[in-house]
């Protein structure tokens, strides 16, 4: 008997693995091409007659253009064209709209407004020739004073950067508020204690290993425009191309092949895409433009650059009763943030985080500076990273001032599990959560109490060790469409599922993988819902001719929105299958049952028709009055966001002599609801923890007083290697999303959102007994050394 | 990102190299492993008329011990120093420095002589060569010179090497005394240049006193720096904590760092001090443990 | 100028400008696009190839330097339709996400376990520290290389038995 049970269980497990449904760590279907070196990225696209484009960029952060002489460049054999802003202006393409409703220069005409701005494009037979010629394009600049901080920008009398913009008389971009000022003022008035923090989340850059680029192939005869493009949102880009370039949308085909990472960097439309497209149209040959790393770092979507200060009001019981936050954002020379149009500071107002704070008031202001535009969310859902960082740092400060263990402060103030759905003071409805549970798992994994003892012993000996805590909550998976849109396009997403007569399926999506493993994960959703093995489900994305319209992949929205669409469309087909099954069984549809890919009539569980039988019948033996085929499409508009959360714990040791910080341990407990492919989920978390580590300790784009970019290549923009990167210990809790069809939440960004504060809190925890309360990221050894020195600590 | 056009030649014999350098002077650049030169060519910071690749010249590689010297062929790759474990106990500082140069792939191509001649103020070998009192054998069509490391580094990317010369060998004197050394490097990540680094090499006399000490500093000045005052303060002394601390202080004073994104001048100077102090302790411990 | 070398076991003779970078030669002239370009400053290792068996950055090599040498790229890993152990390891351990660093990482991993068949985790992390991955956080790349090392060891043991 016992043997039978074991065998049955083993057989069931084998069947589960073979099906590859939800919860199976299926090895990735997409791997084969990559491990053979057959990944197909934009730079791998070679078309007959293809030309190469190189961009001439401004060496100045701010200068008037007095003239451009391209004659020497044009004289080089093999140079086909030098495109300038003046030429584009004749086609009304010198400026383009941004994702935040501003305008951005495609190629500068009047002035350059940041170092690295696009000034001219050289198009030549080879990339070597294009680079040779680009050196010879002579631009006559009259340098102007550069503004390199938003504080300078909004100071009275500051030189106006966007003087070409009608009605723009200063450098202010927006003023935005959320929450309730009066209620917050009242909370602060009755507070027993107020704890404040002023911090800066510096500019960093997603820097996918593959830079941005395109191959634009416009055929003047047919009018067809095929653009191979590094795009996280090919459909949205097609529509925007139609609007910007005035091309007929039905003639535009955007193909985003394999992407070598994106992390938000491949959401905006950059000038290079526009010029390459225009050039292909004018010249009548395909034009390839591939950024080099410096192009990528100095001109494309950066992230963060937020100055934040705020306070938490605390009552006599140690409960948070109010939160105030002011932020000043540096948006660079053009307001090109990629974010939902109704929210000028993205979703920053999630800043109340995991805490039950009854009153909150957020004031945000944005400023133009002579720096690159962008403001993309580097592995983040529209500024949730900055918000999470701020609240988790502020809670750390509160714990220090209250003389509490930071875990205690958090447990005292968490939104309690029974409070969900929870309406936050800044207007979100959190769908679900169980913050104390995740905290407990993390503390147990780390052995928190023992480490606190070790810390006390070390401190007595003058050694520096710290334990950092962060309990983040994210908001991911935009829409719903009524509240969230980008450039007017509502943030739904789509799935089209076609089951072929032999029972094999193709799933086409509006989202776009950049390494997240969509070809596997989404096949697993179909396997779960329809009972077609994941190995029989082919997933297609990234070709606007062959996939349904969707808003793309960023802000952890693929699983919350595209994944939901997949489940829903599979259920539609399942229901149609019931009609066909009823026909085959000669039974009533209401009497048909479905489970794990098999249909039967109620009461006759052993007489089944498989989904494959049904698929064949859908093309060969369809009942009268029913359309043939087994396919469908769903455009899914989520009823709410999903709210992944977790607790991250970090242990650091600090070298007093050099200020070097060594991360000894990193425990990450994530709750992203139901995990479709646990292996892939963990891979996403590993990656995010590493980028968070990079941001906390080394990744930085900064500028000198003249506006020269420091961090313009990988010698200066530091990305952690395997050697520096901590070894991560992962744990989980599972709190399903109540509104998502399969209970899943986004996970791709949790770790980048949650981890920076954990790393920084660990460093501050090691130093707080000395009176050190804040060090802004990246926490470099010289900053730690200087902080120690300021307190008289030395080796 | 591609280099500007240049002519290229890879002679099979040293004489031909020397003749080409004599002919082209400053218009020529010598290519050894290429790990410093090729990035400069790509950035178009260097645009030579002709690149003379010495990769096919026989006899420029290898490490051997001869006549009281360790002789390192100029084209010996960093990786080959890294794996020259026979140097342990004699020239610890070389073995400790080699694995900290750039990253493993660069070390598979980059050469010791190339790095020394490139003379990046943040290059690791310069400080090491100053610490161990190396001599550089350089040749031109006109003959051979032997240049001591002390004085060789004149400024950023500037050395005593003439445009018509090529380095062929590095000679490091090794005596019979007990010696120990080490290399400490502060880098922001693997592959980074040093923010600060210190090379230390100590020889103990039979009486247990410090016979000679060599200290080279990296990335804290316009070129690699020999901390001569610190070295002098150690010579002939008992290796006490106080003597070491004083030498480290003097080494810190010898540093001439500039503030940059990696930190303030004060910070770099202090790390130089800390590294020399730690390095001397390690070096002396190793020497004391070494068989005479 | 003419350069003759062996790539993935096949001799090639190509006519190139001396300034041609090896990565560009491989990608453009030979049409083998598995070798990638991720930076311009010899930092990222996306362009890694094996030169006479040792991993090097092909963006920091001039085409003429190849003359008379042997090059292996990712396309040369699988032999006779059989995956190399390193490829199996990367697939089995989810050692890749976007796939852009993967060819370089696999080649470095292969060379590493050939030189050191039983590497520690530290030795692996040190050995791959010239290659940047932006997606995986390296955890599963380390496992992938361990997986391949274990598979090689098992095969060698089987061979002995």
Q: Identify the CA nearest to C55 among candidates A53, B105, A237, B280.
A: B105
CB contact under 8 A, B2 and A718: no
B14 CA: distance to closest CA in chain C (Å)? 17
SS3 content of chain A, % helix, strand, coil (to 5): 35, 25, 40
Across chain A, which distance is largest between two alpha carbons, in Å? 90
Strand residue runs (E) in A549-619 = 592-595, 598-601, 608-610
pTM of the model: 0.98
Confidence tier at C157 by pLDDT (50, 70, 90): confident
Please tell me the distance from the alpha carbon of residue A262 to that of residue A230, in angstroms, as a whole number: 8
Q: Among C43, C99, C136, select the one facing A39 at the smallest CB separation.
A: C99
The answer to whether residue C56 scores a pLDDT higher than 60 is: yes
Chain centroid to Cα B70, Å, comes to: 14
Residues of C in contact with A208 (CB under 8 A): 98, 100, 134
CB contact under 8 A, A260 and C99: yes
Distances in Å between the Cα of A559 and the Cα atoms of A388, A499, A571, B238 are 21, 21, 16, 69
Q: Among C101, C103, C130, select the one facing A37 at the smallest CB separation.
A: C103
CB contact under 8 A, B264 and A658: no
On whether any CB of chain B is under 8 Å from the CB of A59, the answer is: no
What is the enclosing helix (H) or strand (E) of A500?
A: none
What is the enclosing helix (H) or strand (E) of A532?
A: none
**Domain shared by C11 and C53, yes or no:** yes
CB contact under 8 A, C21 and B2: yes
Residues in B whose CB is inside 8 Å of some CB of A read 1-2, 4-5, 44, 103, 186, 188-193, 195, 261-264, 267, 270-271, 274-275, 277-278
Q: State pLDDT tens for residues A683-696.
A: 999 999 999 999 99
- DSSP state letters, A190-241: T-SEEEEEEEEE--B----SS--EEEEEE-TTT--EEEEE--S-HHHHHHHH
Residues of B in contact with A131 (CB under 8 A): 1-2
Q: Among A698, A794, A795, select the one facing B188 at the smallest CB separation.
A: A698
With H, G, I as helix, E, B as strand and everything else as coil, classify residue A466. strand
**Domain shared by C117 and C63, yes or no:** no
Q: Among A659, A715, A721, select the one facing B190 at the smallest CB separation.
A: A721
Q: What architecture is the B178-289 domain classified under in CATH?
A: 2-Layer Sandwich (3.30)
Percent of chain A residues past pLDDT 90, beyond the cut: 97
Q: Identify the CA nearest to A99 among candidates A275, A263, A240.
A: A240
Query: Which residue in chain C has the smallest CA separation from B107?
Result: C56
CATH number for position C145: 1.10.150.120
pLDDT at B175: 85
pLDDT at A479: 87
Q: Angle CA(B135)–CA(B138)–CA(B139) in degrees, nearest 5?
A: 155
CB contact under 8 A, B108 and C51: yes
Residue that the structure tokens 């403001």 belong to: A375
The residue from A204, A380, A672, A709 that is catalytic is A380
Cα of first residue to Cα of last residue in chain A, in angstroms, is 70
What is the extent of the structural domain holding C23?
Answer: 2-76
To the nearest 10 degrees (0 to 180), the angle between helices C139-160 and A678-697 is 120
**Domain shared by C68 and C105, yes or no:** no
The residue from A379, A383, A393, A665 that is catalytic is A379
Query: Which residue in chain A has the smallest CA separation from C123?
Result: A723
Residue that the structure tokens 């969230």 belong to: A484
Residues in chain B: 292
A232 noted as active-site residue: yes
Q: Among C78, C134, C142, select the one facing A36 at the smallest CB separation.
A: C78
Please tell me the distance from the alpha carbon of residue A438 to that of residue A416, in angstroms, as a whole number: 12
A749 noted as active-site residue: yes
Q: State pLDDT tens for residues A366-377.
A: 999 999 998 888
The residue from A232, A339, A455, A516 that is catalytic is A232
Q: Residue A229's CB: how many other CB atoms inside 10 A?
A: 29
Q: Residue C10's CB: how many other CB atoms inside 10 A?
A: 9
On whether any CB of chain C is under 8 Å from the CB of A792, the answer is: no
CB contact under 8 A, B4 and A785: no
Please tell me the distance from the alpha carbon of residue B138 to that of residue A249, in angstroms, as a whole number: 67
A672 noted as active-site residue: no
pLDDT at B291: 58
For residue A19, what are its two tokens?
């099906």
The answer to whether residue C160 scores a pLDDT higher than 70 is: no
Query: Which residue in chain C has the smallest CA separation from A680?
Result: C94
Please tell me the distance from the alpha carbon of residue A33 to that of residue A39, in angstroms, as a whole number: 5
Tell me the pairing of strands A728-732 and A661-671.
parallel
- DSSP state letters, A368-406: --SS------TTSSTTHHHHHHHHHHHHHHHHHHHT--H
As a whole number, mean pLDDT of residues A719-728 equals 98
Cβ(A97)–Cβ(A274) below 8 Å: no
Residues of A in contact with C137 (CB under 8 A): 683, 685-690, 725, 728
As a whole number, mean pLDDT of residues A663-676 equals 98
Q: Residue A111's CB: how many other CB atoms inside 10 A?
A: 22
With H, G, I as helix, E, B as strand and everything else as coil, classify residue A38. coil
**Domain shared by C23 and C49, yes or no:** yes
- What does the buried/exposed string (b/e) look like for B151-164 if buried means 16 or more CB atoms within 10 Å of the residue's CB? ebbeeebebbbeeb
The answer to whether residue A2 scores a pLDDT higher than 80 is: no
What is the enclosing helix (H) or strand (E) of A673?
A: none
CATH class of segment(s) A2-38+493-636 = alpha beta
Please tell me the distance from the alpha carbon of residue A723 to that of residue C10, in angstroms, as a whole number: 35
**Domain shared by C134 and C105, yes or no:** yes
For residue A702, what are its two tokens?
């900064």
Q: Identify the CA nearest to C44 among candidates A751, A128, B4, B106.
A: B106
Distances in Å between the Cα of C114 and the Cα atoms of A119, A190, A619, A734, C157 are 49, 69, 54, 42, 15
Cβ(A444)–Cβ(A667) below 8 Å: no
Domain limits, CATH 3.90.1170.50, in chain A: 42-144+211-258+266-299
Distances in Å between the Cα of B183 and the Cα atoms of A674, B198, B268 are 51, 6, 16
Mean pLDDT (chain A) is 97
CB contact under 8 A, C54 and B38: no
- H, E, C per residue of chain B: CCCCCCEEECCCCHHHHHHHHHHHHHHEEEECCCCCHHHHHHCCCCCCCEEEECCCCCCCCCEEEECCEEEEECCCEHHHHHCCHHHCCCCHHHHHHHHHCCCHHHHHHCEHHHHHHHCCCCCHHHHHHHHHCCEEEEEECCEEEEEECCCCEEECCEECCCCCCEEEEEEEECCCCEEEEEEEEECCCCCCCCCEEEEEEEEECCCCCEEEEEEEEECCCCCCEECHHHHHHHCCCCCCHHHHHHHHHHHHHHCCCCCECCECHHHHHHHHHHHHHHHHHHHHHHHHHCCC
Please tell me the distance from the alpha carbon of residue A629 to that of residue A652, in angstroms, as a whole number: 60
Residues of C in contact with A259 (CB under 8 A): 98
Please tell me the distance from the alpha carbon of residue A647 to that of residue B168, in angstroms, as a whole number: 58
Please tell me the distance from the alpha carbon of residue A75 to that of residue B10, in angstroms, as a whole number: 32
The answer to whether residue A1 scores a pLDDT higher than 50 is: no
Query: Which residue in chain C has the smallest CA separation from B40?
Result: C41
Specify the CATH number for A42-144+211-258+266-299; select among 3.90.1170.50, 1.10.3720.10, 3.40.50.720, 3.40.50.150.
Answer: 3.90.1170.50
Q: C21, C42, C135: which to substitute to probe chain A, counting the most A Cβ within 10 Å?
A: C135
Residues of A in contact with B186 (CB under 8 A): 658, 660, 781
CB contact under 8 A, A35 and C124: no
Distances in Å between the Cα of A7 and the Cα atoms of A1, A2, A17, A605 are 10, 9, 15, 21
Distances in Å between the Cα of A622 and the Cα atoms of A163, A570, A588, A618, B228 are 67, 19, 15, 5, 94
Domain limits, CATH 3.30.365.10, in chain A: 2-38+493-636, 389-478+642-790
Interface of A with B in 764-783 (CB under 8 A): 780-782
Please tell me the distance from the alpha carbon of residue A407 to that of residue A404, in angstroms, as a whole number: 8
Fold for the domain defined by A389-478+642-790 = Aldehyde Oxidoreductase; domain 4 (3.30.365)
**Domain shared by C95 and C66, yes or no:** no
Please tell me the distance from the alpha carbon of residue B108 to that of residue A343, in angstroms, as a whole number: 51
Within 8 A by CB and 6+ apart from A192, the residues are A314, A315, A316
Q: Residue A252, preceding bond cis, omega within 30 degrees? A: no
Cβ(C118)–Cβ(C149) below 8 Å: yes
The answer to whether residue A12 scores a pLDDT higher than 50 is: yes
A715 CA: distance to closest CA in chain C (Å)? 7
Burial label, C12 (beta-carbon count in 10 A; 0-12, 13-18, 19+): middle
Residues in chain A: 795
Which of C21, C46, C76 delimits the end of a domain?
A: C76
CB contact under 8 A, A716 and B261: yes
What is the enclosing helix (H) or strand (E) of A684?
A: helix A678-697
Chain centroid to Cα A307, Å, comes to: 20
Q: B35, B46, B188: which to substitute to probe chain A, counting the most A Cβ within 10 Å?
A: B188
Q: State pLDDT tens for residues B113-144.
A: 999 999 999 999 999 999 999 999 999 999 99
Please tell me the distance from the alpha carbon of residue A311 to that of residue A307, in angstroms, as a whole number: 14
In tens digits, chain B (292 residues) has pLDDT values of 899 999 999 999 999 999 999 999 999 999 999 999 999 999 999 999 999 999 999 999 999 999 999 999 999 999 999 999 999 999 999 999 999 999 999 999 999 999 999 999 999 999 999 999 999 999 999 999 999 999 999 999 999 999 999 999 999 999 888 999 999 999 999 999 999 999 999 999 999 999 999 999 999 999 999 999 999 999 999 999 999 999 999 999 999 999 999 999 999 999 999 999 999 999 999 999 975 5
A289 CA: distance to closest CA in chain B (Å)? 12
Query: Which residue in chain A has the smallest CA separation from C89?
Result: A35
A383 noted as active-site residue: no
The answer to whether residue A246 scores a pLDDT higher than 90 is: no
CATH of span B64-173: 3.30.465.10
Q: State pLDDT tens for residues B235-251.
A: 999 999 999 999 999 99
SS3 content of chain C, % helix, strand, coil (to 5): 45, 15, 40
Q: Among A689, A713, A722, select the one facing C41 at the smallest CB separation.
A: A713
* Positive/negative CA dihedral, A552, A556, A560, A566: positive
Residues of C in contact with B40 (CB under 8 A): none
Fold for the domain defined by B7-52 = 3.30.43
């Amino acid at each position: 008997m016992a043997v039978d049970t074991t065998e049955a269980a083993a057989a069931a497990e084998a069947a589960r693995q073979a099906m590859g449904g939800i919860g199976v760590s299926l090895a990735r279907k997409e791997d084969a091409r990559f491990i053979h070196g057959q990944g197909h990225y934009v730079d791998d696209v070679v078309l007959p007659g293809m030309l190469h484009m190189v961009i001439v960029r401004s060496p100045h952060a701010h200068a008037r253009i007095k003239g451009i002489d391209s004659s020497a460049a044009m004289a080089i054999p093999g140079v086909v064209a030098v495109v300038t802003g003046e030429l584009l202006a004749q086609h009304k393409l010198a400026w383009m709209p941004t994702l935040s409703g501003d305008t951005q220069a495609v190629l500068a005409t009047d002035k350059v407004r940041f170092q690295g701005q696009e000034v001219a494009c050289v198009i030549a037979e080879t990339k070597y020739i294009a680079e040779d010629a680009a050196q010879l394009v002579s631009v006559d600049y009259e340098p102007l004073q550069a503004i390199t901080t938003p504080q300078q920008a909004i100071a009275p009398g500051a030189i106006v950067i966007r003087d070409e913009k009608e009605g723009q008389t200063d450098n202010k971009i927006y003023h935005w508020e959320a929450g309730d000022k009066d209620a917050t003022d009242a909370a602060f008035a009755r507070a027993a204690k107020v704890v404040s923090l002023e911090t800066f989340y510096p500019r960093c850059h997603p820097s996918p290993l593959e830079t941005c680029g395109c191959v634009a192939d416009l055929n003047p005869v047919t009018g067809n425009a095929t653009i191979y493009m590094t795009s996280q949102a090919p459909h949205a880009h097609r529509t925007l191309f139609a609007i910007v370039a005035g091309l007929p949308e039905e003639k535009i085909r955007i193909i985003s092949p394999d992407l070598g990472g994106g992390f938000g960097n491949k959401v905006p439309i950059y000038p290079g895409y526009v010029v390459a497209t225009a050039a292909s149209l004018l010249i009548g040959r395909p034009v390839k433009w591939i950024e080099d790393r410096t192009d990528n770092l100095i001109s494309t979507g950066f992230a963060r650059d937020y100055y934040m200060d705020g306070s938490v009001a605390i009552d006599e019981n140690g409960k948070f009763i109010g939160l105030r936050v002011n932020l000043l954002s540096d948006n660079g020379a053009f307001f090109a943030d990629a974010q939902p149009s109704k929210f000028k500071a993205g979703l920053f107002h999630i800043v109340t985080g995991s805490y039950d704070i009854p009153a909150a008031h957020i004031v945000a202001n944005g400023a133009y500076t002579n720096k690159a535009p962008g403001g993309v969310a580097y592995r983040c859902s529209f500024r949730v990273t900055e918000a999470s960082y701020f609240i988790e740092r502020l809670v750390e400060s509160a714990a220090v001032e209250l003389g509490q263990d930071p875990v205690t402060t958090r447990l005292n103030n968490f939104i309690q599990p029974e409070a969900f759905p929870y309406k936050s003071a800044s207007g979100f409805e959190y769908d679900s959560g169980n913050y104390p549970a995740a905290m407990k798992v993390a503390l147990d994994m780390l052995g928190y109490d023992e480490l606190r003892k070790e810390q006390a012993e070390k401190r007595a000996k003058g050694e520096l060790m710290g334990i950092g805590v962060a309990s983040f909550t994210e908001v991911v998976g935009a829409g719903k469409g009524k509240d969230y849109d980008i450039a007017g396009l509502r943030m739904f997403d789509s799935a089209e599922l076609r089951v072929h007569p032999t029972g094999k399926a193709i799933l086409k999506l509006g989202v776009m993988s950049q390494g997240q493993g969509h070809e596997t994960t989404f096949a697993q959703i179909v396997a779960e819902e329809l009972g077609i093995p994941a190995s029989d489900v082919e997933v297609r994305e990234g070709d606007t001719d062959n996939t349904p319209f969707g808003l793309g992949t960023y802000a952890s929205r693929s699983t919350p929105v595209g994944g939901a669409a997949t489940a829903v469309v599979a259920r539609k087909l399942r229901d149609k299958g019931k009609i066909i099954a009823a026909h085959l069984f000669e039974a009533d549809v209401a009497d048909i049952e479905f489970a794990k890919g098999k249909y039967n009539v109620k009461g006759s569980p052993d007489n089944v028709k498989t989904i494959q039988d049904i698929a064949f019948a859908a093309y060969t033996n369809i009942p009268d009055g029913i359309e043939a085929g087994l396919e469908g499409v769903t455009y899914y508009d989520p009823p709410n966001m999903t709210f992944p959360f977790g607790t991250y714990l970090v242990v650091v040791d600090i070298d007093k002599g050099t200020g070097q910080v060594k991360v000894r341990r990193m425990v990450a407990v994530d709750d992203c609801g139901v995990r479709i492919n646990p292996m892939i989920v963990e891979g996403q978390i590993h990656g995010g923890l590493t980028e968070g580590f990079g941001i906390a300790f080394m990744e930085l784009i900064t500028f000198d007083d003249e506006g020269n970019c420091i961090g313009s290549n990988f010698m200066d923009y530091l990305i952690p290697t395997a050697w520096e990167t901590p070894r991560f210990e992962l744990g989980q809790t599972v709190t399903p999303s109540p509104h998502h069809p399969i209970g899943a939440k986004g996970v791709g960004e949790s770790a980048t959102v949650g981890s920076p504060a954990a790393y920084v809190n660990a460093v501050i925890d090691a130093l707080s007994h000395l009176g050190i309360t804040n060090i802004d990221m990246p926490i470099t050894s010289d900053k730690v050394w200087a902080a120690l020195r300021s307190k008289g600590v030395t080796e | 990102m591609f280099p500007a056009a240049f002519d290229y030649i890879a002679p099979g014999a040293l004489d031909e190299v020397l003749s080409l350098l004599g002919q082209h002077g400053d218009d020529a650049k010598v290519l050894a492993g290429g790990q410093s030169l090729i990035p400069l060519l790509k950035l178009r910071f260097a645009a030579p008329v002709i690149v003379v690749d010495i990769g096919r010249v026989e006899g420029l590689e290898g490490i051997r011990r001869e006549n009281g010297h360790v002789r390192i062929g100029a084209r010996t790759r960093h990786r080959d120093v890294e794996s020259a474990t026979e140097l342990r106990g004699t020239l610890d500082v070389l073995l400790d420095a080699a694995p900290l140069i750039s990253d493993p792939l660069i070390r598979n191509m980059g050469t010791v002589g190339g790095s020394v001649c490139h003379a990046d103020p943040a290059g690791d070998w310069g400080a090491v060569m100053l610490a161990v009192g190396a001599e550089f054998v350089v040749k031109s069509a006109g003959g051979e010179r032997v240049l001591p490391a002390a004085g060789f580094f004149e400024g950023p990317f500037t050395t005593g090497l003439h445009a018509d010369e090529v380095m062929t060998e590095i000679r490091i004197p090794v005596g019979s005394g007990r010696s120990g050394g080490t290399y400490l490097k502060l880098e922001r990540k693997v592959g980074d240049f040093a923010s600060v680094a210190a090379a230390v090499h100590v020889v103990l006399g039979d009486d247990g006193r410090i016979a000679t000490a060599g200290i080279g500093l990296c990335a804290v000045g316009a070129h690699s720096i020999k901390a001569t005052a610190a070295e002098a303060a150690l010579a002939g002394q008992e290796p006490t904590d106080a003597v070491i601390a004083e030498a480290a202080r003097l080494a810190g004073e010898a540093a001439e760092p500039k503030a940059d994104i990696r930190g303030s001048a004060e910070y770099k100077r202090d790390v130089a001090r800390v590294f020399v102090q730690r390095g001397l302790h390690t070096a002396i411990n190793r020497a004391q443990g070494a068989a005479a | 100028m003419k350069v003759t070398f062996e790539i993935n076991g096949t001799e090639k003779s190509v006519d190139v400008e001396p300034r041609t970078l090896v990565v560009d030669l491989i990608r453009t002239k030979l049409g083998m696009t598995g070798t990638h370009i991720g930076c311009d400053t010899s930092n990222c290792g996306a362009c890694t190839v094996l030169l006479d068996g040792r991993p090097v950055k092909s963006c920091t090599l001039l085409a003429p330097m190849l003359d008379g040498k042997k090059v292996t790229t990712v396309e040369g890993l699988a032999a006779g339709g059989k995956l190399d152990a390193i490829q199996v390891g990367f697939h089995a351990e989810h050692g890749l996400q976007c796939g852009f660093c993967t060819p370089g990482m696999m080649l470095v991993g292969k060379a590493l376990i050939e030189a050191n068949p039983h590497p520690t985790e530290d030795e692996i992390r040190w050995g791959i520290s010239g290659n940047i991955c932006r997606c995986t956080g390296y955890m599963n790349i380390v496992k992938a290389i361990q997986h391949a090392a274990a598979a090689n060891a098992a095969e060698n043991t089987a061979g002995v038995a």
